[in-house]
Structure 1
Amino acid sequence: VNLGNELTPTQVKDQPTEVLWNARPKCLYTLAFIDPDAPSRRNHTYREFKHWLVTNIPGQNISEGEVLAEYVGAGAPKGTGFHRYVFLVYKQPGVIVDPEEGHVTSRSRKKRRYFRIGKFATKHNLGNPIAGNFFMAQYDDHVPKVHQQLDGLIPLL
């Protein structure tokens, strides 16, 4: 991912093995991966779609963080053009405990639509993001697999 480059859903189908930011080893971080253009840029009624959310990450050790939403790759519906897929990192003031947010598996759409990273950040006193990046992606032949994975539902446009 390199500040707005174009990638395909096939290229980003798997969870990244590395996400880097300027982290302090003894601090905790939240990593969010969202699509603000769901289900399309013209009709973003699902804004934002939560693709991945990990809290309580010590330093850059994402695997040691608490996964609130398991990774789901890009899934721009056919005919909706390019979507922006955004990674944001926040420095936490302390441990986040959020039973309302719960845990969302990679096979569920539950609690992914209508996510608001700004509200989440406010709720947990995260302030502004300390790092961010994004890429653009549009429909390819992998997208039906993403939608089948997510409860077998095709998004309504």
Structure 2
Amino acid sequence: MEKHGVVPDVLDIVPKHVAEVTYDKGVKVQLGNKLTPTQVKNPPTVKWDAENDAFYTLCMTDPDAPSRKTPKFREWHHWLVVNIPGNNIDKGDVISDYVGSGPPKDTGLHRYVIIVYKQPGKITCSEKKIPNNSGDGRGKFSIKGFAQKYNLGEPISANFYQAEWDDYVPTLYKQLGM
């Protein structure tokens, strides 16, 4: 994570554990491997070392929007779920529905970071809920700021992949009304 600048661009420290992130057809996220927007268009399964009686926050964010050279929208978050009981993401409270990777054409590789925090208890968020057909409110996000606001502490688990434009991206942009 340090080699690819996830620390310090997104996180202050490397979490102790690597989240297990698997997309359709068994496609795995492996600490910076390259995947395509086509491969990651649907939400992945994410597993971490969870306690059944604890709540967790899960975030997927892109610090390279619109490009790594000019990240003026850093961070653009793709997914945000809070109050996840144990590893059961489907039972959490969705703040931002999952949106796959959509790096603009000719902007090179973008880093997509999946981060898990253990919450101190159940939380109530003031952020507006964002559906998967909207890009509004996703840019200029800070997972560090969100974690600080809700007293989440340091992340317990994370993983990331890199992706660049492919022919699925225009379909995603249409879904987002862009």
TM tier, shorter chain? Answer: over 0.9
Paired position in structure 2 for 1:69? 96
Q: Which amino acid aligns with 1:149?
A: Q
Q: Which amino acid aligns with 1:93?
A: P
Paired position in structure 2 for 1:89? 116
Aligned residues: 150
Aligned-pair identity in percent equals 53
Paired position in structure 2 for 1:4? 32
Inter-partner Cα distance in structure 2 for 1:71 and 1:137? 16
1:22-41 correspondence runs (5 A): 22-41=49-68
Answering whether residue 149 of structure 2 is matched by residue 128 of structure 1, we say no
Answering whether residue 140 of structure 2 is matched by residue 114 of structure 1, we say yes
Q: Under a length normalisation based on structure 2, what TM-score does the superposition of the two structures give? A: 0.83
Paired position in structure 2 for 1:144? 170
Inter-partner Cα distance in structure 1 for 2:136 and 2:165? 22
Inter-partner Cα distance in structure 2 for 1:11 and 1:110? 24
Inter-partner Cα distance in structure 2 for 1:64 and 1:120? 20
Report how far residue 137 of structure 1 moved: 0.3
Inter-partner Cα distance in structure 1 for 2:78 and 2:101? 8
Considering only aligned residues, what root-mean-square deviation do their CA atoms show, in Å? 0.6
Report how far residue 96 of structure 1 moved: 1.4
Answering whether residue 158 of structure 2 is matched by residue 103 of structure 1, we say no
Inter-partner Cα distance in structure 1 for 2:37 and 2:142? 23
Report how far residue 77 of structure 1 moved: 0.3
Inter-partner Cα distance in structure 2 for 1:135 and 1:123? 26
